[in-house]
Chain A
Amino acid sequence: MSQVRVLVGTRKGAFILTSDGTRERWEVSGPHFGGWELYHVKGSPADPNRLYASQSSGWFGQLIQRSNDGGKTWEPVGNKFVYSGVPGTHQWYDGTPRPWEFTRIWHLEPSPSDPDTVYAGAQDAALFRSTDGGQTWQELPGLRTHASAPSWQPGAGGLCLHTILIDPRDARRMFIAISAAGVFRTDDGGTSWRPINRGLHSEGIPDPDAEVGHCVHRIAMHRSRPDVLFMQKHWDVMRSDDAGDTWRDVGAGLPSDFGFPIDVHAHEPETIYVVPIKSDTEHYPPDGRLRVYRSRRGGQEWEALTNGLPQRDCYVNVLRDAMAVDSLDPCGVYFGTTGGQVYVSPSAGDRWLPIVRDLPSVVSVEVQTLP
């Protein structure tokens, strides 16, 4: 019988939650790396026992941990992230130029085909790659040296590269998102990049329709249709049907179109999920009711999913990397909150169950579906 393994990154360690395909009873392992911030833990699609974890601390900096046995044991691998050449500058909050400075890895994206190849999204924004299982890291500098980079400004969480999507048809095409620069695409394996933000509209920047400068919170795709992208922006839920060349707003009908995560059903490429948050200054659900919204038409028409979720006095947030889906049938949907709950819906959102209620604040959730 199939199993699922949920990889949870929190402010104080990583946790691994496992269940059989019913997704009703769970075993909890952790904390792994207790006391450290785990921004992201993700498994290799090519070898599910190969996991990578981004472990960091304000005291001791960045570490990358690797497991070859599905998270039972871990070993620290390379943590030397050095910008290529002489780093230039981006804009600081006060508008002054500020040299690129490495802080942490927000997101790890293992290659679909090679367990030893993994991409890492950094703050300050840059894309790194390892081809030796995380032992050494090299920057793909074409992104950070893009002509627009000196104008990039950090979002409230820092100038972070937080999303990496690899086109399943052609690994030379990748999409990345940076807060607060926007989405960029490469078609040549990371050598050159171009911003793909046409159609985005952001009132918080001087030119609301600018080519770069948008605070994109998350993008998602279904592997069967990699030209269709969905986006949760600072405000607005957006959709592109042409690999990001143009975007349109599909958030009408939501109680708020502010939020962080967005994800796509494993078997229905037009079924998407978001978690509306009241506003950019009030990072909690509208009316104290934790609701996932599902659209079965790729946006525009939304239904609230509330069965099993708290519908009063709930003021948690769900961060950008804290939602995931499994590939069982029916599709399982998972998310973690800043209040330490991890919820699962074994029924594509119709009914929710808490797997755990009292973890540290959840930063990221990933799911592996195992044979």
Chain B
Amino acid sequence: MIIRVVLPAHLRTLARVVGEVTLDVDGPPTLGSVLDALEAAYPMLRGTIRDHVTRRRRAFVRFFACEQDLSHEPPDTPLPGAVSDGTEPFLIVGAMAGG
């Protein structure tokens, strides 16, 4: 299944990508499986979105999809159908905080 992911600007620079990232995810995509696939494809992103050890989302990173905030959902949360079928991207966002 091809999942579209939009990264914040700093992480696009770090991953050396322009625009959206597409990931091939086995099975129904979940929050956790998409992040696993992202980190496998772009190892330099490890630790920047989730903590290396606890795998918890970093405090000022947010996950949005189809106008829903999935930031506080558990890793096994299925992504919306429009993300699964590639109609909509999964958004990883640097939270609006600070200056």
Binding site for B on A (CB under 8 A): 35-36, 57-63, 76, 79-80, 82
Contacts and interface: CB of A to CB of B under 8 A. Distances in A.
Interface residues of B, number: 18
A155 B48 CA distance: 26
Contact of A60 (B52, B53, B94): B94
A58 B46 contact: no
Given A36-B10, A82-B52, A82-B53, A59 B95 contact: yes
Given A59-B10, A59-B95, A79 B46 contact: yes
Contacts of A60: 8, 10-11, 14, 48-49, 58, 61, 94
Contacts, number: 42
Closest 7 CB pairs of A and B: A60-B48, A76-B44, A59-B60, A59-B94, A80-B52, A79-B47, A61-B47
B72 to A, nearest CB: 17
B97 to A, nearest CB: 7
B27 interface: no
A35 B10 contact: yes
Interface in B1-55: 8, 10-11, 14, 44, 46-49, 52-53
Chain A binding site: helix, strand, loop or mixed by DSSP?
Answer: loop
Contacts of A57: 10
Given A59-B10, A60-B58, A63-B14, A80 B98 contact: no
Contacts of A80: 46-47, 52
A301 B35 CA distance: 60
A61 B10 contact: no
Interface string B61-83: 10000000000000000000000
